[in-house]
Every structure is written in C-alpha cells, then in structure tokens.
Structure 1
Amino acid sequence: MTDRAAPRRVVLDVDTGIDDALALLYAVASPALELCAVTTVAGNVPVEVAARNSAAVLSHAGAADVPVVVGASRTTTGAGPRSGPTNHGPDGLGDVRVPPGPHPARIGVRDLVAEAAGSAAVTLVGLAPLTNVAGLAPLAERLVAVAGELVPEDPPEFNAAHDADATARVLAAGRPTTLYVADVFAQVSVTPADVDRLRSSDRPAARLAGELLAVRRGHLVGDAGALVLLTHPHLFRVEPRRLGVVGDVLTEVADGRWVDVVVDVDAASVARAYVDTLLAVR
C-alpha cells in the first residue's frame, strides 16, 4: 500500500539508459510521486543522448511538461560516458523506438533544480554517476542514489566509481542519504508473464515499460527500484553504515559518513508494485 499523503516531490538525475527510462515511467505513473524535473549526465550514454531519451520517454508518458536539462558531459576528472558496448545498446534504449520529445533545456542544472524546489522540500534521486548530484545536494532535503555495493567487486559499481570525487562530495554534503546498492538492484526482476501484461496494456506508458523490460537483461527493474523504495519503503530493509571512498570504491570505513543502505528487499513484491503502478492497479 502506498502512502496517501501529499506526493513526494522528486528530481531525477539520469543517464537514460533502459532502467532509467523505467524509473521515469514509474515516477510519472505513481500517485505518490510528483516529478518536478530531470537532470542528465554522461554515464551509460553521452549526456545529449540521455537528455534526448529522457524527453522522449516523458513525452510518451504524457509528461512532456516536465523539464529536462542537459547536465555534465564529463566527470569531475574529465572522463566521458562509459566506453564499449552495454546492455542498453548504442541508443540507450535497447533499440526500442520512442518518438522524440521536446528539446531538452540548456539552462544550468542548479538553476533548474533551484526553480523546481522553490520553497518546498524535494528529494533528489541519483540514478547515474554522481557528477551532477554532488553540486545539487545542498538544494535537496534528502538524497537517494543508486550507488555502491554491499560486497565490493572488481570492477567496482559503476555509478559510484565513474566519478569517485563526486561520490566523496555527496557523502560530505551531510544530507540524509539512502543508497540503493548493486547487490539489491540485481534481485528485482519482472516475470515474463508481467512483461506480457505490460506489453498488451492499452496504456502507452505501460506498453513502453513492457517493451523496455522485454529487451532488458533478466527483465531487471534496475534503477526504478530506487523509486519504489520511496513509495513502498516497507518492502526494503535499510541499515545505517559508515561509508567512504577508497580509491574509486565506495566502502565501509571506520571514520566514514553515516548513510542508510538498502541491505535486503522483498524482490517479488517490489516488481509487482512496479507493474501494478504502470497498469494503474490500485
């Protein structure tokens, strides 16, 4: 059951990306969320591609009025987007065709988020390398980021590692922060039957979600799980951890900053909540 209080106002920072697109669709569909703005950053794809994909997805979902802004094209240390092939395909959307949306804005990301936040609280949700988020953190009441992992692997989790300097700045910002980590991210997948339900829906946003999930490895919800965390927190187990950045790895350290970390999830229920929200089953 979702919270029936006033919708939570959110700004999404994305590198759209199949699962970023799934997150955008959920943010528009959920009555528990008010999507105020979208900022884009280089990550899975170049920043211009991320912005174009985001605008197209939002337009398809009936939310063309949500502003999308082109953010950082390179990390703090000058790195560009991820190199080499990814499961998102060269266009970021796995070759799922989405009609173009409005042209993304060219104002600064900070100006856009400051305008979107106004005098009301806003939650900043980072679904990409944290280059933009590091500069935007002071404007947010709360941060949620898809970053890090419970058990560090080689190579390290991409979002935290691709701009490790920005990740360290996010921790230093001192905002209430929750991390949706890769170990949990990898557990939430939609069943083939529910993918088919979405693809056969008469709702354009649901159909697009189904098409994207159909080409998504393992039908993983991915980044969209961080949005379900906001609307269905009872489906996640969260623990405080002291974290810091060592090299390019976000890891537990004795003198680190306290942040909340998602350590477990009711994966089947999260996937069901995602599907039901897109299908408007309440």
Structure 2
Amino acid sequence: MGVKLIIDTDPGVDDALAIALAALSPDVDLLGVTTVFGNVPVATTTRNARGLLQLCGRPDVPVAQGAERPLVRPNPEYSRNVHGEDGLSGQAGALPAPERAPDETDAVSLLLSLLEAADEPVTLAPIGPMTNIALLLAAHPGIRAKIGRIVAMGGALEFGNKTPSAEFNIWADPEAAHRVLVEESVPLVLVPLDLTHKCAVDAAWLDRLGESGAVGAALKSMTGDYLGYYRQALGFEGIVIHDAVAIAEAIKPGILATTSYPVEVDIGLGPARGTTLVDRRTPRRESSSRVVDIALDTDFDGLRSFMLDGITGGRR
C-alpha cells in the first residue's frame, strides 16, 4: 500500500472527484475522511462524503463530522451557486445509502486517533476550509510528528474566486488558514487557483469519465450545476477540479512543481480578508513570514491523464 492519507473535505463536486481519486487508487491507504462546512453546511458535506465512499466501494473508511462554522467570525455563505443546493448538482440523493454510520467521535478526535495509530508519517489533505486542521494542531501540538506533510487546496496569487483577491477555502476561515499556513511548522504544499485553473478538464475528459462505468457515470452526473458555472467562467465546455489536483499531489509527490515563497493570510476585516499574500519579489527580501511550497506548474496533459486513470482504473 502506498501513501497513508486522510482527507478533510466539504463535498462539493470537485471534492467528490478528489475523494474518488483517493478511494479508488491502489497507491493510497485512505485512513479516514473528516468533514467541514464549506461548499454546503457540514451535515450535508458529511452525508455526501459517506455516500461517495459507498459509491466507490469503500464503506471501510471512517467518516467523522467536523466544524460547522469558522474559528472566529460567523460565515453564513456557502457555494450553492456553484455546486448546487446539495453540493452535488442535485444528485446527492442518487448516491447509494452508506453501510457505515458516521464515526461517533468528532473530526478532530478521529484525526488524532488515526494519526496516533499510524506506524509511518501520514499525509493530511485539507481540500476545504482549514478549521479542523487548525483545531487539531492547536489542541494537540505533539501530533505534528505523525504528519509527514499537508497538501492543501487553497489560496490565490493573481485572482480570487470569492473576492477579487481571495480564494473560497481561505476566505471561509482566514484565521484557521493563518494558523495552518503561517503559524505551523509541518511541511506543506499549497495548491492555489493559479494552477488549478490551468488544469481544467474539457467535455471530452468528462465524456471518458462518464463512459468508464457506473462510478464514472455517477460522478459525471454530479457535474451539471458545476459545469454551468464553469462554462461561463472558462468560456468553454469544461470544469476546474481544484481538489482533485491537490489529491493527485498527495498521492504522487512531485506531480506538481512547487516553488517556495513566504506566505501570509489577511485576517483583517477589510475587502482583502482571506487573501493569500505571497511574496514573489526578487531578489527575496528578508521576511519573518513562513516559507511554503506553492504548486505553480505541472505536466498538464499528464496530470489530467493521471486523474482520469486513477478514477476510472484506466477504463476509458
């Protein structure tokens, strides 16, 4: 078995594809999934995560529900306009009924127990707001030694998708993102919008997904509302599967090319709240900000093939 992985997620259409990529990969030991508010409320993200694991034939993977709101300031806005009312373009009800009940503990407790039990370093992949991860590291600082690295989808260097400068996951809980990105010492790869938009998949990719079998057809059926949004955003028939790009890096370290930069997160109350501030000046100025590996390039066709093959098992 390959990389030991825990996914923290808010499904979400792109989260659905990310979960499938990990759940179906023979190179992943998927230890657990924890859920957080984000694209839709946390009760819905938890239901979606359990149904998606059942769809992928993985009821063995425990799911625990996590934070229902940000650390500090209430944030009532979700992304239903992008992902649909149920987070999956109205198709959540078509998911198979989960065989396994949600874990009786909360997300932080499950994260802690899975990490403590691991016999080798574990990769954490937060692909929603970082509230659960911030709570874990704040309450249990000694657990850092069990985390090999964090691969997080979030942030933006040039443009945001929630505000002109802020990406949704960071904007949804900037204080949590600040804790994880700026204040911690765990090795971290940040996968921002600047890269994920370049990794967009087109209608032909989605057709191959849908034709690959029952799982692929179900996943494609969840992209309706999402495709409608990205048809306008991209100007062609396709979608951006942000979270699956991050999971690809979690599964295959180095599939994304990274560059190290000092990073800050704006936690003020002004219009820049939630902005990821990345210092790319050259020569590099002296800075007290933490240096983070930021994914900015990849073999785009190779990455798209890796994601499709991982979800379909090469049946396309």
> Can you give the 5+ residue segments of structure 2 that lack an aligned partner in the other structure?
228-237, 269-273, 280-286
Matches within 5 A, 1:263-278: 263-278=296-311
Aligned amino acid, residue 189 of structure 1: A
Q: 1:81 to 1:28 in 2, by over 3 A?
A: farther
> Can you give the 5+ residue segments of structure 1 that lack an aligned partner in the other structure?
1-5
Question: Are the aligned partners of 2:122 and 2:149 in contact in 1 as well (CA < 8 Å)?
Answer: yes
Aligned amino acid, residue 275 of structure 1: L
Given candidates 190, 200, 204, the residue that maps to 1:193 is 204
Given candidates 80, 97, 100, the residue that maps to 1:100 is 97
Please state whether the residue corresponding to 1:95 is helix, strand or coil. Answer: coil
Identity fraction in percent: 31
Alpha-carbon separation, structure 2, partners of 1:214 and 1:162: 24
Alpha-carbon separation, structure 2, partners of 1:252 and 1:193: 35
Match of 2:152? 145
Once the two structures are superposed, what CA deviation does each residue of 1:225-280 show, in whole Å capped at 9, x if it has no partner? 11111334444220011001223322125321011000122222211111112221
Please state whether the residue corresponding to 1:277 is helix, strand or coil. Answer: helix
Alpha-carbon separation, structure 2, partners of 1:90 and 1:188: 26
Match of 1:3? none
1:127 and 2:153 correspond: no
Please state whether the residue corresponding to 2:81 is helix, strand or coil. Answer: coil
Alpha-carbon separation, structure 2, partners of 1:220 and 1:84: 15
Given candidates 165, 168, 178, the residue that maps to 2:189 is 178
1:73 and 2:68 correspond: yes
1:260 and 2:307 correspond: no
Question: Are the aligned partners of 1:44 and 1:86 in contact in 2 as well (CA < 8 Å)?
Answer: no
Q: 1:39 to 1:222 in 2, by over 3 A?
A: same
Question: Are the aligned partners of 1:76 and 1:131 in contact in 2 as well (CA < 8 Å)?
Answer: yes
The alignment's TM-score, normalised by the length of structure 1, stands at 0.90
Given candidates 166, 169, 174, the residue that maps to 1:159 is 169
1:10 and 2:1 correspond: no
1:249 and 2:246 correspond: no
Given candidates 15, 21, 36, the residue that maps to 1:20 is 15
TM-fit CA distance, 1:152 = 4.6
Question: Are the aligned partners of 2:41 and 2:78 in contact in 1 as well (CA < 8 Å)?
Answer: no
Question: Are the aligned partners of 1:19 and 1:224 in contact in 2 as well (CA < 8 Å)?
Answer: yes
Larger radius of gyration: 2
Aligned amino acid, residue 64 of structure 2: V
Alpha-carbon separation, structure 1, partners of 2:155 and 2:250: 18
Question: Are the aligned partners of 1:19 and 1:222 in contact in 2 as well (CA < 8 Å)?
Answer: yes
Match of 2:113? 115
Once the two structures are superposed, what CA deviation does each residue of 1:167-224 show, in whole Å capped at 9, x if it has no partner? 111121210000000111112223322322221223x332223323455332322211
Please state whether the residue corresponding to 2:83 is helix, strand or coil. Answer: coil
Alpha-carbon separation, structure 1, partners of 2:176 and 2:310: 33
Once the two structures are overlaid, the 10-residue window that deviates more, 257-266 or 55-64, is 257-266
Aligned length: 276
Q: 1:84 to 1:29 in 2, by over 3 A?
A: closer
Match of 1:46? 41
* Runs of 4+ residues over 4 Å off in structure 1: none
Question: Are the aligned partners of 2:39 and 2:80 in contact in 1 as well (CA < 8 Å)?
Answer: no
Once the two structures are superposed, what CA deviation does each residue of 1:35-68 show, in whole Å capped at 9, x if it has no partner? 1111111111000000000000000110011111
Question: Are the aligned partners of 2:123 and 2:250 in contact in 1 as well (CA < 8 Å)?
Answer: no
Question: Are the aligned partners of 1:42 and 1:81 in contact in 2 as well (CA < 8 Å)?
Answer: no
Aligned amino acid, residue 9 of structure 1: K
1:226 and 2:226 correspond: no
Match of 1:60? 55
